Amino acid sequence: MNFDQARRLAREQGDASELLALVPYAAYLGLRMEMGADGTALLRLPFKPSLIGNPRKPALHGGVVAAFMEGAALLHLLLVLDERRVPKSIDFSIDYLRSAQAQDTLASCAVERLGRRVAQVQIRCWQAEPQKPVALARAHFLLASDE
């Protein structure tokens, strides 16, 4: 299945499984997309013990939180834009606000600037309480259609 077909399935039937399957590392981490009524998605990283970085707290690996947020931004772009290839990462910057506990993690993304060549995405990540983010991040992507 190509990106156009997978995107159509996600947009029209709320089934993002094929879109996720096109990004092996997102599938490996276990990412899920929960489709909203407005056509955007909430990204979920279900907890599993292999994601732990500090077993004594226990806390998720900081790299996992970052990887989840980068993956979330990529999938968000694949869902809301009509790209036929995966946008290329230019840079990524994350602020860690709280330690991520051993539980499900959620992320929402917003494209704050969409140019012809570059998209800027803000990513917010939280766990049990949406008003207490565990991390905030931003990323720039080079859009594949105009390489």
CB 100 within 8 A of CB 60: yes
* Contact status: 42 vs other proteins (CB under 8 A): no
Q: Give the single-character DSSP code of 118.
A: E
- Answer for the pair 120, 95: CB distance below 8 angstroms, yes or no: no
Question: Binding residue for other proteins (CB under 8 A) from 4, 36, 39, 93?
Answer: 93
Our finding on whether 49 is near other proteins (CB under 8 A) is yes
- How many Cα atoms are found within 13 Å in the side-chain-facing hemisphere of 94? 20
Distance between CA 6 and CA 10 in Å, rounded?
Answer: 6
CB of 64 to other proteins, least distance (A): 6
| Cβ at position 8, least distance to other proteins in Å | 19
Identify which range of 7-15, 94-102, 115-123, 126-134 contacts other proteins by CB under 8 A.
94-102
Q: How far apart are CA 144 and CA 116, in angstroms?
A: 10
Among 12, 91, 129, 131, binds other proteins (CB under 8 A): 91
**56, 82, 129, 131: which one binds other proteins (CB under 8 A):** 56
